[in-house]
Structure 1
Amino acid sequence: MIKNLVRGATALCLALSPLALPTAAGAAPAAAQVLNLADAVDLVPVADESRTGYTRDKFKHWNAGLDPADGCNTRAEVLQAEAVESPTVAAGCKLSGGLWVSYYDEQEVNDPAGLDIDHMVPLAEAWDSGASAWDAKRREAYANDQDAATSLVAVTARTNRQKADQDPSTWMPPHPDAQCRYIGEWTATKLRWNLAADQAEADALKVYAEACETTVVHYTPAA
């Protein structure tokens, strides 16, 4: 049985606090959604996947980030945002020192070079499940999405590379206490970007949703 992640309150344990994206003038912002995990999983459409035409460079990353004037790209901005102890930022946005906790494996890391910024739903998986139909601008927005706290996560390079492009039917974080949070964040990302799941993935999500019955999913649909 998978352990539920307990970090005081469910909302905190999931760390799902997405910010609304800018919208066109006069348009109402997308409404934030709050669902229990089982209901959220039921909203993810099920469809066959295809990797035809995929190359990683079709998702431009890392770009200039939220503040192009600060000289830091998306990777550096995520590292600064997720640091438990802030790194020193030198000229050219060179980071040194700092402290991070990789929630996939509960490892402390004090060197930015030891961390990867993981796309919660990998770029190849996003392509397979809907992003192949997007234009280049939307794929770039996806690959650099800092408007939802769950889209990009700083984790040990080892776990990110073990995960590669796998979905939860074939890979889960090695630390048991991370798994409910991970499934919640995976589902939130799929819903935020209106991405589908293949049947094996959908079946796995349902199994985890039964085990993670107290998990709550927060997401805001991407503009």
Structure 2
Amino acid sequence: MRDVAHPCPPAAHRATSYLLAAALAALLAIASLLVAPSPAHAATYSAPVTQAVADLPVATENRTGYSRDLFRHWIDADGDGCNTRNEVLLSEADSAPSVGSGCSLSGGRWYSYYDATSYTSASSLDIDHMVPLAEAWDSGASRWSASRREAFANDLGFYGSLIAVSASSNRSKSDQDPAEWMPSGSRCRYVTEWVSVKHRWGLAVDSAEKQALTSYAAGCSQTVSVTIY
């Protein structure tokens, strides 16, 4: 007579299942610790400048309630003793200045592309908001929080937001948009940086501004490529 194999008793079968399930759960827990989560990616915008101009929303501007004091600047965001103005001067210098107590600057050399002139004194330079504070207010910043306006006024995250230029050219520009003022040279650079800042901060343009930007950008080959703030 052949021996007949007897199945495992029910209790033993259940114990084996529980052990297998526990082992599987432990392995999954270990695997989850070993696999790092994917980092969140900041939104970006990239397009030829002609397309970037076309993509800008058009809205009527309104300066009601504007005050320069609503955009707090210049701050020392990283606490290194140098405020935003001096950070830009240090970053854009063709020849680095000496840095003294309190981040005082001496010597150095800068090229102001608005008027194609070099300067050897920091006091001869202004830090221009590519999109002026009043223009930003007109174009959407009036709806921002105080902290977002402060971030805009001290934006070191995009090279084109803040530009070291001669005091005379900056004051000639004042708060005018490209329909009202353009530098004498490097106009493709200027248009590209202007449009980049508008996209970076989600700002609109008025109809005359868009028409001017469209006209200037037509002869430019640059690309707008920015991280959206």
Provide the TM-score with structure 1 as the length reference: 0.84
Q: In the alignment, which of 49, 57, 70 is matched to residue 69 of structure 2? A: 57
1:137 has 2:140 as partner: no
Structure 1 partner of 2:156: 146
Which letter does structure 1 place at the counterpart of 2:197? Answer: T
Which letter does structure 1 place at the counterpart of 2:101? Answer: A
Structure 2 partner of 1:30: 42
1:179 has 2:191 as partner: no
Q: In the alignment, which of 185, 205, 210 is matched to residue 213 of structure 2? A: 205
Q: In the alignment, which of 211, 214, 226 is matched to residue 219 of structure 1? A: 226
1:164 has 2:174 as partner: yes
Shift of 1:132: 0.1
Structure 1 partner of 2:26: none
Shift of 1:174: 1.6
Deviating runs (4+, > 6 A) in structure 1? none
Shift of 1:35: 1.1
Q: Pick 1 or 2: higher relative contact order, CA cutoff 8 A, min separation 6.
A: 1
Shift of 1:33: 2.7
Give the Cα–Cα distance (whole angstroms) in 1 for the partners of residues 38 and 87 of structure 2: 30
1:46-85 Cα offsets, whole Å, 9 max, x none, are 00000000000000000113x21x2110000110000011
The size of the alignment, in residue pairs, is 193
Report if aligned partners of 2:125, 2:165 keep a CA contact under 8 Å in 1. Answer: yes
Larger radius of gyration: 2
1:190 has 2:198 as partner: yes
1:122-161 Cα offsets, whole Å, 9 max, x none, are 0000000000000100000000000011100000001000
* Secondary structure of 1:211's aligned partner: coil
* Secondary structure of 1:45's aligned partner: coil
Shift of 1:31: 3.3
Taking only the aligned residue pairs, the percentage that are identical comes to: 54
